[in-house]
Amino acid sequence: MDFLEPALSGFGVVFTPVNLLYVLAGVVIGMVIGVLPGLGPVATIALLLPITYEIPAEGAIILLAGIYYGAMYGGTITSVLLRLPGEAATVITTIDGYQMARQGRAGSALGIAAIGSFIGGTVSIVGLTLVAPLLASLSLGFGPPENAVLAAMGILLVASLGTVSTAKSLTAAALGLLLAAVGPDPLYASPRFTFGSINLADGVDFIALAMGLFGLGEILYHLEHRARNRLPKPKVSNVWPSRDEWRQSRGAIGRGSVVGFFIGLLPGGGGVLSSMAAYTLEKRRSRQPERFGRGAIEGVAAPETANNAAATSSFIPLLTLGIPTNPVMALIFGALLLQGIAPGPRLINENPEVFWGVVDSMYVGNIFLLILSVPLVGVFVRLVTVRDTILAPIVVMVTMLGVYTVNNSVFDMLLVIFFGVVGYLMKKTGFEPGPLVLAFVLGSLLETAIRQSMRIFDGDPTGFVTRPISGTLFAAGVLALLVPVGLRLMRTRRARTRSTEPVDSGTPSR
């Protein structure tokens, strides 16, 4: 219980006027970009990285965290009212949420989503408060071998579990590792892969890479694949769910909180996976599964609760182990590095104001979300009608100005354009940029840790397996990689067995 005093002192950081403003700004910006299709927490955080460079570390991460979990609820509004998911994690909500809106129950759907998001987020924050210090204390004994295994497993797990195509994800991760190798050697400072360019002497700038792939690239892809029409303004009444609807939803909210919390801890987890898992769980355990897809309120409560819980719990591996589990966490990892702060087990002791300030800000942010979610529905619905031809040029201008102001470098602007085209082509050909950015962020840590470990082991790579902690982590990572493959093979074998079974014609034998 020694962590209670610093945990409570974190509220002193949050309740300063400027940090309260960052919390409020974060959740409002998150809700807005969650409403607008084509943007999202990844693109928005990438675009705001230059701004965070100029403000204190705790305020910067509080702002970015608010954007992340605020976007989880913002996407719900258009998913329910217009069948238009503003954020990937709310796609599953459109199934029952839009049917409820067609039945005149849009207010109930939005109300239960707000309540579920608040409960799921709060449960996950409590878990974060209790689990993170314990995990951080356990990981203090980690050395270069353990850090190397963690970084390698993080990249492989995200690449294999995070997207549909494992081969494409691994290819993107390999490209990220190659880009991470550009610049000075981490041990000898000799230049590598710079092709004689002074602009690449310090390596590829993380802000330019992130803003290009997730900012400009997403805008180009969205402009091509979406010609948004003027949408009718939907009506919302009876904002809060009835007593019967609450009784139907409370179990789904409880289970969604647990599912979201644990999936958020996994590499590749997050809002999308947790919302799908929670929805599937509710449908399978329901006595009337046919209700799902026709306006079942549990089909809104479960995924909305789970995605907010996952958004919060995904901070645990980042803050305690220094391992980002999804693209948003990779960007926040980069934001911390820009502030000169290394995420990991020493963060809680060396920068307690950042650690506990961010954790405690989530309590306040969830309250802000609950208070603001319903009154601002009308404003957010109007935002959907903003045409892409107006929104896209503004975002591009802000992107280019933002990246220039960091280093006053025209070369960084050219990098944004280059990676914007790369990001667009990746999306167009089915490659996700997430594994690339994760591998880029973890690449320098992985290389340095491996080279230090090999010096410790006198060149013997078996040391990674023989050390107790690194060996256990290695075994756990391999198991996590093999289990999904084994399950997939079992499903394939069962399907083949069923297809080869003789069909009974029903004719009695004589």
Strand locations in 407-460, DSSP E? none
pLDDT class of 505 with cuts at 50, 70, 90:
low
Residues 319, 348: contact at Cβ < 8 Å?
yes
* Percent over 70 (pLDDT), the chain: 84
- Taking alpha carbons only, the member of 248, 203, 260 closest to residue 447 is 203
Per residue in 51-104, pLDDT tens? 887 888 888 889 998 888 888 777 777 777 766 665 666 767 878 888 888 787
Residues 312, 69: contact at Cβ < 8 Å?
yes
Mean pLDDT (whole number) for 103-129: 85
Q: What is the pLDDT of residue 504?
A: 54
How many degrees, rounded to 5, is the angle at CA 165 between CA 228 and CA 171?
105
Per residue in 61-73, pLDDT tens? 899 988 888 887 7
Type and span of the H or E element at 192? strand 191-192
Mean pLDDT (whole number) for 27-38: 77
List the alpha helices (DSSP H) in 294-351: 298-313, 315-321, 327-338, 347-350
**Residue that is written with structure tokens 């002497």 in the block:** 201
Comparing 235 with 148, which gets the higher pLDDT?
A: 148
Backbone angles phi, psi at 343, to 5 degrees: -65, 145
If one counts every other C-beta atom within 10 angstroms of the C-beta of residue 239, the result is 15
Mean pLDDT (whole number) for 378-392: 67
Comparing 96 with 480, which gets the higher pLDDT?
A: 96
d(CA 438, CA 432): 11
pLDDT class of 20 with cuts at 50, 70, 90:
very high
What pTM was computed for the model? 0.70
Contacts of 322 (CB under 8 A, 6+ apart): 147, 150, 333, 342, 343, 344, 345, 347, 445
pLDDT at 472 over 60: yes
pLDDT at 330 over 70: yes
d(CA 382, CA 175): 40
If one counts every other C-beta atom within 10 angstroms of the C-beta of residue 6, the result is 15
pLDDT class of 510 with cuts at 50, 70, 90:
very low
pLDDT class of 422 with cuts at 50, 70, 90:
very high
Q: What is the pLDDT of residue 87?
A: 63
Mean pLDDT (whole number) for 362-381: 78
Residues 343, 322: contact at Cβ < 8 Å?
yes
Mean pLDDT (whole number) for 324-336: 82
If one counts every other C-beta atom within 10 angstroms of the C-beta of residue 188, the result is 7
pLDDT at 408 over 50: yes
Per residue in 266-323, pLDDT tens? 665 566 668 878 888 888 888 888 888 888 888 888 888 988 888 888 888 888 888 7
- Euclidean distance between the first and final Cα of the chain, in Å? 78
- Domain positions in the chain: 3-492
How many degrees, rounded to 5, is the angle at CA 15 between CA 11 and CA 19?
110
Per residue in 190-242, pLDDT tens? 888 888 888 888 888 877 887 788 778 877 887 776 544 444 555 656 667 77
List the alpha helices (DSSP H) in 86-165: 93-102, 106-138, 144-161
Comparing 505 with 74, which gets the higher pLDDT?
A: 74
- Taking alpha carbons only, the member of 25, 27, 120, 38 closest to residue 87 is 38
**Residue that is written with structure tokens 């356990």 in the block:** 138
Q: How many CA atoms lie within 13 A of 227 on its CB side?
A: 0
d(CA 276, CA 146): 32
Contacts of 352 (CB under 8 A, 6+ apart): 6, 9, 10
